[in-house]
Structure 1
Amino acid sequence: MDTRLTRSDAVEDALAGPQPWRRLFLDAMVVEESKALKRVFHSAEKHPDNPILRYEKPWEGIGVCVSGTVMWMGDKLTMRYRCWGKGAAKACYAESYEGIHWEKPTLGFVEWDGSCDNNITIGGTGSIVKIRHPKSERDRWALFSYQSEKGATVVFSEDTFNWRWEEQRTNLFETSDVVKFFYDPYEDRYVATYKTPNRRHRAVGIALSKDGLEWYKPYSGAVVGADDLDPDATQFYGMPVFPYQGMYIGLPWIYHARWMKYGNYESPKQMYEAQEGSPRTVDVQLAWSWNLIQWTRTPDRKPFINLGPKGTWDWGMIYTARNPVIVDDKLYFYYYGCDNVHDIIDDVRCNIGLATLRMDGFCSMRAGNREGWFISRREVFKTPRVTINAKVMTDGYIIAELLDRWNKVIPGFSRSECIPFTGDSIEHVMEWKTKAFPAEFLDADKKIRFYLKNADIYSYLPVDIDTTRDQGNRKEQ
């Protein structure tokens, strides 16, 4: 995998990737039909060394929290995190070369207890976004955040450390206290997800901007929140979103608390009474969309990042950074975990953990001991080679045949002429003994029938998609 892209400081560009985008099984249009396969949604796996960044300095109070940006800067991963507790520092900086072992370098920016020998930064820990069309080098970076007296704000910098606070723009749009920002490379715009009410109380709305300064809301209310497949005690506390392979992926922070069933909200007392008996825990689920307005979630609503066992460091609440980062062949999701439930202010400790997922590993088509198959969507390609991201277990295999638009095998590309795959790879190229299509099939639409046994396939992509004909199919027709 090309680290020049995956380690780009433009976080969203690395995650979205260039066209053509890989075919992920979150997208139901990828599969025309299937038999004896199960569509499986996967959770991220917590790292065994968690928590990978602990509160330990006197200025870090009783906790460290990451809910802003983690990103590559050159050959280092950088993290801005905030500290928890009375008198604690507002923002600190850490860096790592491999994403697991983190250092807290001396920055010398802020005096603490008579010394500048610390990693405290000047500014907040909101969403740091690279500006794609800056007016000058002084505006290469934006820090979007929420401040209680100023609402949604933005301030600019040339290096992510020295922010021009005297030029800060405030009250960008009406929002509550949880708001996350990102750059949308598909539409060349900036996007915010913000906490807003619906009938289940906390939910998520969308705001858009072409320049990061002037904002509008394409829909005035919530675009995603708890629905009738959710338990009663379900609210969306917030939802960071990031672009990924042609779609948008959201990480809703699910607050397990009930809400009022009647009357108007007039005081916090009503809220506390409504959530009596609720778990009041927060975990992370998965959502995805093609247009930021209509969202899909996993049918069983299981956590994407699970809470720890009762009494452990992250058993009460989990909140994620605004985006994952690509490290080698995995997605790294940083989060902070708390050892108590929501609304407990003083008796809570917070540390930062890591959960990982294989590239494209959100959803797979899975076969067990019985062979299954699926037929792909129509594809436009001229070279009979298909890259797959897949894992094969003992006594398993993946083989494929290439079909015409009427599901008839193209001569020379049957399953018996395919070279089987029996390994574990994020980019294995499937080939056939025949190396070229017959002339009459060269420009025709084709499909792929994959046969699986004891295997998971996470994504696929023909090696030479004709992007003049297939431009990603993101637009509504």
Structure 2
Amino acid sequence: MRHCIFVFMLIVVQLISHSQSTIIAEDNVIHIGSRRELLIDHYLIDKLNNVRLVLNHPRDEGVALEFDKPWEGLFCGYCTVIKDGELYRLYYRGSPKGGADGNSNEVYCCAESKDGIEWTKPELDIFQLQGHSKNNIVLADAAPVTHNFCPMLDTRPGIPADQRYKAIGGTMTSGLIAMCSGDGLHWKKLQEEPVITTTMVPYKYMFDSQNLAFWSEHENKYVCYFRVFEGGIRRICRTTSDDFINWSNPILMEYRTHDGDAPIEHLYTNQTHPYFRAPHLYVSIAARFMPGRQVLTEEQAKAINVSPKYFKDTSDAILMTTRGGGFYDRTFPGGFIRPGIGARNWVSRTNYPALNVIQTGPAEMSVYLNQDYAQPTSHLRRYSIRLDGFASAQAPYKGGELLTKPLTFTGRELTINFGTSAAGSIRVEIQDSSGKPLPGFSLAEANEQIGNEIERVVTWKQGGDVSSLSGKTVRLRFVMKDADLYAFKFGG
């Protein structure tokens, strides 16, 4: 009798334990729906076996735009690229002479493109400057907003036509001032008072960089990221708003990796924006500033005619991500775009990325860097990279595996953005939450995916229809050989 009671109690304990583990597992399930997920961090990754996440470096495509007009010049900067329908717009500060932040000589200019590759400067008749009535100036006589004016295309549903474009700009003296426009060319203040003030920010110094805002469909609110100083280091704060006027108390962003805290470095600009193919993921291509890290000698600086005092620091572009909240993921602490060959690339405040990544071809996207700062050759340069290709999960020739965390999806097919060698491949197994292969979707039934495509439908012997698993908790097991996996997506 006692033995029976003991066995009964043991079974009950096991059932309770199994029930609790099931609840815990369900609590940890990630619901991705039909979102595109990039292999850019460890957010969805449970295990890696002989597979590693690698940072992919963009390719230099040369000069995109020269800052050669009399009102542009050496100190052009704080660029923003926006795609509005079939038109690309580039906004940037015009400043031929150095001076205090927010001085009256600063203007904001505009260039346009049909493809994001070839750019022209429109001849507008909005402001007259230095005797030129036809120019590409969209904002003047608006100091200090013209120091770091940063536009956005407002995609919030129901926005009035005359507020399709919004922008913020200003310094510590003025606070961040909100602007709006119907056409992206003619601008006015949204209200006279600044929308984010120094009294809201518990730090000693702020706003003296490119501060940005955007409408987040993921969070269903406006999000703003701006620069502060904390502990003598340039840091980033985040605040949110429902109406672009009233903003929450800012929080200081932290930096993390999947296994701990990341280094705190000077980040001059943050350039955080929703990735256009996966807007729940905010990509930050930030300017990392290394004060006092001098490369050039006085003689080298004179040879390239760099403005005095602008060659005693260095900077480059780094990659971070965030999905909202109070921290950036810094899976890759190294440089995303390194300074190029030659003295011109190693001066102070050069290599600063423009805000936003845009698509510039069927399989290509582009990021732009402000280069040759404080030099007569000041310009904007374009760098291209594969769609979704900021980073990838990479397996060597001898092979490896990636296993996701438990997730649910919606859709009837799984597509992958991938590339293999001629000898390489990717096979996908779909498992239940416990790791057991599901009938019809086991590794033995998976077809090899060989090639190099932005969107390939994954198939098994019975085909590619996964709709029977939609809404159920599953894991994905990617078995890879000499291959890169950039992204995957359920849908169809």
TM-score normalised by L of structure 2: 0.76
Q: Do the aligned residues in 2 keep the contact of 1:151 with 1:170 (CA within 8 Å)?
A: yes
The superposition leaves residues 409-443 of structure 1 with CA deviations (integer Å, 9 ceiling, x where unpaired) of 33333334323222111111111121388999787
1:206 to 229, 232, 238: 238
Contact 1:32 1:377 (8 Å CA) reproduced: yes
How has the CA–CA distance of structure 1 residues 131 and 395 changed in structure 2, closer, same or farther, with 3 Å as cutoff? closer
Cα distance in 2 for residues equivalent to 1:166 and 1:447: 48
- Partners of 1:120 and 1:463 lie apart in 2 by 44
Within the alignment, does 1:405 sit opposite 2:433 as a pair?
Answer: yes
**Deviations 1:314-333, CA, capped at 9 Å, x for gaps:** 76521122211223333321
Mapped pair 1:459 → 2:482: no
Alignment partners' CA distance in 1, 2:273 and 2:248 = 19
- Which residue matches 1:362? 390
Cα pair 1:399 1:452 within 8 Å, conserved: yes
Is the 2:292–2:312 Cα contact (8 Å) retained in structure 1? no
How far apart, CA to CA, are the structure 1 residues paired with 2:75 and 2:229? Answer: 29
Farther off after superposition, 55-64 or 379-388 = 379-388
Q: Report 1:304-319 matches (<5 A).
A: 304-312=336-344, 316=348, 317-319=350-352
Task: Give the corresponding residue for 1:126.
Answer: 150
Contact 1:107 1:118 in 2 (8 A): yes
In structure 1, what is the Cα distance between the partners aligned to 2:427 and 2:262?
A: 37
1:288 aligns with 2:321: yes
Q: 2:188 matched to which residue of 1?
A: 164
1:95 aligns with 2:115: no
Task: Tell me: CA distance 1:203–1:441, structure 2 relative to 1, closer, same or farther (3 Å).
Answer: closer
Farther off after superposition, 367-376 or 322-331: 322-331
Matched, 1:330 2:341: no
Letter in 1 for 2:320: A
Q: Do the aligned partners of 2:123 and 2:135 also contact (CA within 8 Å) in 1? A: yes
Deviation at 1:455, TM superposition (A): 0.6
Q: 2:223 aligns with which of 191, 200, 224?
A: 191
The question of 1:79 aligning with 2:107 is answered no
Q: Is the 8 A contact 1:54 1:63 kept in 2?
A: no
Q: Secondary structure at the match of 2:64?
A: coil
Q: Quick check: 2:411–2:467 contact (8 Å CA) kept in 1?
A: no
Q: What's the CA shift for 1:33? A: 2.0
Q: What does residue 115 of structure 1 align with? A: 132
Which amino acid counterpart does residue 322 of structure 2 have in structure 1?
Answer: S
Query: How far apart are the structure 1 equivalents of 2:250 and 2:65?
Result: 38
Asked if residue 180 in structure 1 is aligned to residue 209 in structure 2, the reply is: no
In structure 1, what residue type is equivalent to 2:82? Answer: M
Distance in 2 between residues matched to 1:166 and 1:25, nearest whole Å:
39
Q: Is the 8 A contact 2:412 2:470 kept in 1?
A: no
Is this contact kept in 2: 1:318–1:335, CA < 8 A? yes
Matched with 2:272 is 241
The aligned residue for residue 5 of structure 1 is none
1:23 alignment partner in structure 2: 37
Matches within 5 A, 1:246-257: 246-257=280-291
Q: What does the per-residue CA deviation read over 1:234-253, in whole Å, with 9 as the maximum and x for residues that have no partner?
A: 41223121123323222232
Aligned to 1:42: 56
Q: 2:253 and 2:481 mapped to 1: Cα distance?
A: 42
Q: Structure 1 vs Structure 2: percent identity of aligned residues? A: 23
Could you tell me the TM-score, scaled by structure 1's length?
A: 0.78
Instruction: Point out where structure 1 has 5 or more consecutive residues left out of the alignment.
Output: 1-17, 260-275, 340-344, 465-477
1:358-400 deviations in Å (ceiling 9; x for gaps): 2222221111110111222334358773200111123111122
Q: Could you tell me whether the CA contact under 8 Å between 2:41 and 2:53 is conserved in 1? A: no
Instruction: Report the AA paired with residue 230 of structure 2.
Output: N
Q: Which runs of 5+ in 2 are unaligned?
A: 1-31, 98-103, 141-145, 199-205, 294-308
* Matched AA of 1:160: G
Q: Is the 8 A contact 1:397 1:421 kept in 2?
A: yes
Q: Classify the secondary structure of the residue corresponding to 1:52.
A: strand
Which amino acid is 2:168 matched to?
Answer: F
**Any conservation in 1 of the 2:33–2:490 contact (CA below 8 Å)?**
no
Residues 1:159 and 1:201: Cα distance change in structure 2 (over 3 Å): same
Whether the 8 Å CA contact 1:131–1:139 is kept in 2: the answer is no
8 A Cα contact 1:398 1:453, kept in partner = yes
CA distance in structure 1 between the partners assigned to 2:76 and 2:471 by the alignment: 56
Decide which of 37, 53, 57 is 2:65's aligned counterpart. 53
1:167/1:414 CA distance change after superposition, 3 Å: closer
Match for residue 177 of structure 2 among 150, 153, 158: 153
Which amino acid in the other structure matches residue 339 of structure 2?
Answer: L
Contact 2:151-2:165 within 8 A present in 1 as well: no
CA distance in 1, matches of 2:465, 2:178: 54
Q: State the match for 2:330 in structure 1.
A: 297
SS at match of 1:431: coil
Counterpart residue type for residue 44 of structure 1: P
Cα distance in 2 between the residues matched to 1:312 and 1:113: 29
Change over 3 Å in CA distance of 1:187–1:445 after alignment to 2 = closer
- Is the 8 Å Cα contact of residues 237 and 255 (structure 1) preserved in structure 2? yes
Is the contact between residue 416 and residue 488 of structure 2 (CA under 8 Å) also seen in structure 1?
yes
Amino acid at match of 2:463: K
Q: Distance in 1 between matches of 2:197 and 2:399?
A: 53
> Rg: which structure is higher?
2
